[in-house]
Amino acid sequence: MKRALLSVTDKTGIVEMAKALEELGYEVVSTGGTLKTIREAGVSAKAIEEITQFPEMLDGRVKTLHPVVHGGLLFRRDVESHVNTAKEHDIEPIDVVVVNLYRFEETLKAEKPHEEIIENIDIGGPSMVRSAAKNHRDVLIVTDVKDYERVIEKLKEGSADLAFREEMAMKAFAQTAYYDSMIARYFSQYTGKQSETFTLGLKKEGTLRYGENPHQSAAVYRDGFEDSLLSDYEQLNGKELSFNNLNDLNVAVELARCLKEEGRVATVALKHATPCAVALGDSVFESYSKAYDADPVSIFGGIVSCTGTVDLETAKMMNKIFLEIVAAPDFTQEALEELRTKKNLRVLKVDLQKELAEIDLKYISGKVLLQDTDKDADEGFEVVTEVWPSESRKRDMLFGMKVVQYVKSNAVVLVKDGVTLAIGGGQTSRIWALNSARNNNPDKDFSGAVLCSDAFFPFYDCVEAAHEMGVEAIIQPGGSVRDRESIDKCDEYKMSMVFTGVRHFKH
């Protein structure tokens, strides 16, 4: 008689699966809670102890870790010596295995105590999955609830061929790899140590229409270990998010999160993963209005992220132009109805209380670069000139350095009264970045502004250009061998300069 072994944590669909297998002539063998569930539903299942002749023990830690189980999974039916060995030791073949694992991920995300997390590390389940998947020619392994109906249909039709079995084996090994990656990252976090090998568990959330360009295929995966800004968001309106939308959205909400402060509202306008205008205000409407006025050209077709609840007045103003995405912690019902009049506008509810992701990963050809996310730097505030910045200029400096952190290097940001006047980035020379910011905003009045730079000034040319523009204060990391020249030039022009000691390259 054919035999099926069922042992699942997620009981969804398991009764129907067990009944279907029994109807197909399989002897059903099961364990613990799975056995209880299917027996109560009328399935004549055998307990695993009846097969192993050995009781479950150690609080269920040992029940399927037995030669009768793994021998029944691993012996090759086409190898005579395997068959003879199985007969010699009274090992019956197991033909179908249905397994899903202990809820380690869910326990971890629920922030349970360490000991409870450890107890939710499954040992027997992954062992059975790997044994069955290795011997997939003879054993059909099923690890995904969504595959139950398909598996039964294949078995009824006699079409569970090698290609199908290989597909199921692929999914099984991917499942155990993901599971182990979660455990490894938990222990890395718990111990504060990093292994020589790094495993990243990703779950596919969906296929995207295309990548950065129409000829590139793309998909979006979720990092199962992280619970950060874009781990969960609610889409309230609009068409499917694209690859570029998601990439841009990440920058917009991260910067908005960094600018969130009590009593003020920040609005970030962004285009092509680069901020084009950022403003602080006493309300969402004020901050959005200031951001729009700061760059009414680039904001068109861009993304807007706000740190406050979007109201009707703001929504009406937003709807005057074409925007790809509006993201905020919340929307009034009236604002949402207004924004929904544009059916393609993507409206997203994003929890800005969540933290930024811990890791920043870049895949290059054949290698992966991994670093800590650029956050929580211990930035200094050393005034290196004779003139000290006023309190208002100091606030602008701190605001601008948060913005420049999200602009492609070389990057400069000009700020006044909590609003970006101009942004220059992605240049191979710092003076070119400043010239770009100035030339793209020929009608702007930069008098009294603050210049923020993501890295040090290699020459004093940026100081001279800033002085010509009317800039009063400069903030930069410092650290150039020619810092003294820039400082002396600031003193000559009665400008203030501050060193932070922290660079913010973004490549």
pLDDT the model gives residue 61: 65
Distance CA 329, CA 338 (A): 17
Q: Which residues are catalytic?
A: 134, 272
Question: At CB < 8 A and 24+ separation, what contacts does 313-317 make?
Answer: 313/285, 314/284, 314/285, 314/288, 315/339, 317/285, 317/288, 317/289, 317/292
3-class DSSP state of 103: coil
pLDDT in tens, the chain (507 residues): 799 999 999 999 999 999 999 999 999 998 888 999 999 999 988 888 888 776 776 666 666 767 878 888 888 888 788 878 878 887 888 999 999 999 899 998 888 999 999 988 988 889 989 999 999 999 999 999 999 999 999 999 999 899 999 999 999 999 999 999 999 999 998 898 888 888 888 999 999 999 999 999 999 999 888 888 888 899 999 999 999 999 999 999 999 999 987 679 999 999 999 999 999 999 999 999 999 999 999 999 999 999 999 999 999 999 999 999 999 999 999 999 999 999 999 999 999 988 888 888 888 899 989 888 888 777 889 999 999 999 999 999 999 999 999 999 999 999 999 999 999 999 999 999 998 999 999 889 999 999 999 999 999 999 999 999 999 999 999 999 999 999 999 999 999 999 999 888 988
pLDDT the model gives residue 69: 83
Q: Which two tokens stand for residue 415?
A: 């700020």
Give the HSE-up count for residue 134: Cα atoms under 13 Å, Cβ half-sphere: 14
pLDDT the model gives residue 48: 84
- Find the helix packing angle between 391-404 and 243-259, rounded to 10°: 150
pLDDT the model gives residue 59: 65
pLDDT the model gives residue 58: 63
Q: Which two tokens stand for residue 243?
A: 């690859």
Burial degree of 64 (CB within 10 A; 0-12, 13-18, 19+): buried
End-to-end CA distance of the chain: 62
pTM of the model: 0.85
pLDDT the model gives residue 134: 93
272 touches 248 (CB < 8 A): yes
pLDDT the model gives residue 14: 93
Distance CA 93, CA 86 (A): 8
Nearest to 259 by CA among 96, 395, 440: 395
Q: How many helices (H) and strands (E) does the chain have?
A: 18, 21
DSSP H or E run through 418: none
The string of DSSP letters for 43-69 reads --PEEHHHHHSS--BTTTTBSS-SHHH
Distance of CA 355 to the CA centre of its chain: 11
pLDDT the model gives residue 307: 95
Give the HSE-up count for residue 394: Cα atoms under 13 Å, Cβ half-sphere: 9
3-class DSSP state of 340: coil
pLDDT the model gives residue 62: 66
Buried b or exposed e, range 324-359, using 16+ CB within 10 angstroms: bbbbbbbbeeebbebbbebeebbbbbbbbebebbee
Question: In Å, what is the CA distance from 471 to each residue of 296, 418, 420, 436?
Answer: 22, 15, 13, 16
In three-state form (DSSP H/G/I as H, E/B as E, the rest C), the secondary structure along 241-309 is CCHHHHHHHHHHHHHHHHHCECCEEEEEEEECCEEEEEEEECCHHHHHHHHHHHCCCCCCCCEEEECCC
DSSP H or E run through 463: helix 461-469
